[in-house]
A and B are shown apart, each in its own frame.
Chain A
Amino acid sequence: MRLVAEVDGDIIIAFEPNIGYVHRAVEKIAETKTYLQIIPLVERPMLPDTASANLGYILALEKLLDVEIPQRAQYLRMLLCEMSRIHSHLYGLGIFGNMIGSSTMFEWAFADREPFLELTQQWTGARLTASFMVPGGVRRDLPPDFTGKVLKAVAYMEQRLKDYDKIFVNNPVTIARLNGVGVIKKSEAARLGIVGPNLRASGVAYDTRKVEPYCAYGDVDFELVVREEGDCYARLLVRREEMKQSIKLIRQILDKLPSGPFFAEKYAKLINPKMKALMDQSGILRFPAVFSSLKPAKGDAISRVEAGRGELFYYIVSDGTAQPYRFRMVTPSFKNVIAFKSALLGARLADVPSVYGSLDYFPPEADR
């Protein structure tokens, strides 16, 4: 993106974000692909939080297909989403540290993504764009002794959060640099439509997982992290606290994981019996033949999920054929662009990187 600032000395008097440089026409391409082929397509813009993009699309699609998801699959979906959320927040904190000059925070945050990427690869086969959720359930069951590894990774992350506090969050230079900078007041935040940790740092207690619980979020217990100040430091603290909540959620999910099938019965009975036997033995899904040209019912469907950066919204218009008639995807970074205009008026030129890092803006996601 390009940020155009009009300055008077050191004070910014007008600010305009100029986006669209990474537009890859996801919505147009989706009209030419079958429903299953869209799954990798929607993951690509939303790095590094790919599981939420996948989940949102599948939730919208399943409303058109009218299929019931087994409980175990719901929990497995939640587990991947929370691991993806931690990854997304680490990425955000790293970029934030780099923007204000703390290269230590940048290197540490990026290095600490590695346990989660390793775990995702052992589980789904891919490090980042897992394409894990399919209509009806998930693609793979947990490998043996996976739970122990996840708990170890999560305990390591808790330890590292304390290190981050010492080096970055409680660093006097960081506090001086971020305190009171880029304030978005509570009355403005909801009107501007910003989402995610940015909204919660301005005092609005809104999280899609609590408002419209999808998967099994109604059965697990976590707190909403809300702060009142609305400045860059509040956004940093909200992200850090949310990582702790994700760790708590992961522990609960692993505790409460029910047993059972990981793929819906409606499609499982359509799989070739030899393939089905292989599937039950290895825990890896074999697609039924109907997936190659899935034709959902005619109608509209919407879904919303809470990705790491905010609320992700899908709108599918289906006309009964194998390709969608209209596919709409509104990402959290696209909704957050407007925050640049109001947070930076009257700030100094050196505050631009601080605000950019604190809003956790990701250009490919905003431009799709």
Chain B
Amino acid sequence: MGIIETLWQILTSPPVFIPLIFPGFVTLLIVLLLLIWFERKLTAKVQMRYGPLYIFKAFGGIIQMVADLLKYLFSEFIVPKDADKKVFILAPILFFTFTLLPLVAIPISSTFTATQSDLTLILVPAIGTLAPLMVILIGWSSNNKYSFIGSLREGYIMMTYEIPMFISVLAMALTYNSLNLIEIANKQTGLWGIVLNPLAAITFFGTLLMTTARFPFDISEAESEIVVGPYTEYSGIVFVLCLGAPYVKLYVLSLFYSIVFLGGWNPLFWPLNTNPILPGLALLVKGAIIMALAVFMRTIYPRYRLDQALRLGWHKLFVLSILSVILSLVLFGLGVL
């Protein structure tokens, strides 16, 4: 009895529950399954075709990704002869890890959080910044000219979106006068962040699309131009890691977005602090809306050229983010919050 009780205690304590079960690893796998299925099904419906259909036909092919994952698990992954072998295998693993790591800093209720820190607002994007460096390593280690072009493109794009992302986060920190995600979510009982500082919300959403390589910023993996970009030489399970990592980043940043801009776990406008399950679900639903919006872009937009995306980032997003900081200072001066 004692052992089971102790195990249950450990399992439901925040430092273990959040990274492992919710919104951690288990939930991540389920969300990834559903997200990719949703993207393929939605794209197919818009494009007048069926999408995933045959696996588990009653539910419209919903476990298609399980079938794909099993196929990749059992297929041999080939390491090219001239590639840098250690980096070739390590870089995708680190890529996946760095996109997954910020989950430890995300709280799911005002009392249930794994990291007791006052800096969680900065912690989440900062850990995520290490991921694109791994993409550059992936492209470099493949020893293939198309991978090289892809990783160069990723390097350029990374410079462009990191700065507006951090400046818009800074604007929100100025608005709420705090860097702690729990305090930020609790302060949004009256007005949500998206209404308080819409400029920061738009800028952050734009950089979210750029960082997770959603259309129209699909540039580093542009299929018709440079095969698959940095991931050209990959096959088998490391390919799944490479392609799954942007989706993981999308999930983490969507949760982050819903806490900072959409009121976090407070559904509608009143606080809900009862237990960790209900607020967590509310957070997940809001995150799901952002994720669905981001993957829907695939059906609408073609792909930008690299220099056009860079110009967009520097001329428009950067300027917007500076303006959002000014807006925050004005709001702060007026004593809105």
Contact residues of A with B, CB < 8 Å? 10, 97-105, 107-108, 111, 167-168, 171, 173-174, 176-177, 348-353
Give complex CA distance A104, B215 in Å: 12
Give complex CA distance A10, B222 in Å: 15
A–B complex contacts, Cβ < 8 Å, 30 sampled: A98-B224, A99-B224, A101-B216, A101-B223, A101-B301, A102-B301, A102-B302, A103-B43, A103-B299, A104-B46, A104-B47, A104-B299, A107-B48, A107-B49, A111-B49, A167-B300, A171-B300, A171-B301, A173-B216, A173-B302, A173-B303, A174-B302, A176-B304, A176-B308, A177-B303, A349-B149, A349-B225, A350-B222, A350-B225, A350-B305
Q: Is B233 an interface residue, CB under 8 A from the partner?
A: no
Q: How far is the CB of B40 from chain A (nearest CB, A)?
A: 11
Q: Is B306 an interface residue, CB under 8 A from the partner?
A: yes
Q: Contact between B305 and A348 (Cβ–Cβ < 8 Å)?
A: yes
**Residues in B whose Cβ lies below 8 Å from that of A167:** 300
The chain A residue with its CB closest to the CB of B311 is: A176
Say which residue of A99, A108, A168, A348 sits within 8 Å of B47 (CB atoms).
Answer: A108
Those of B222-236 within 8 Å (CB) of chain A: 222-225
The chain A residue with its CB closest to the CB of B312 is: A176
Q: Contact between B304 and A177 (Cβ–Cβ < 8 Å)?
A: yes
Q: Is the interface of B mostly helix, strand, loop or mixed?
A: loop
Q: Which of B215, B302, B306, B308 has the most CB of A within 10 A?
A: B302
Those of B282-337 within 8 Å (CB) of chain A: 298-308
**Residues in A whose Cβ lies below 8 Å from that of B162:** none
Q: Contact between A108 and B48 (Cβ–Cβ < 8 Å)?
A: yes
Q: How far is the CB of A212 from chain B (nearest CB, A)?
A: 38
Those of B194-248 within 8 Å (CB) of chain A: 215-216, 218, 222-225
**Residues in A whose Cβ lies below 8 Å from that of B306:** 10, 348, 350
Q: Contact between A348 and B307 (Cβ–Cβ < 8 Å)?
A: yes
Give complex CA distance A111, B225 in Å: 24
Give complex CA distance A353, B222 in Å: 11
Q: Contact between A177 and B46 (Cβ–Cβ < 8 Å)?
A: no
Q: Contact between A101 and B299 (Cβ–Cβ < 8 Å)?
A: no
Q: How far is the CB of B61 from chain A (nearest CB, A)?
A: 18
Known: A171-B302, A348-B305. A103 touches B222 (CB 8 A): no
Give complex CA distance A351, B308 in Å: 12
Q: How far is the CB of B76 from chain A (nearest CB, A)?
A: 29
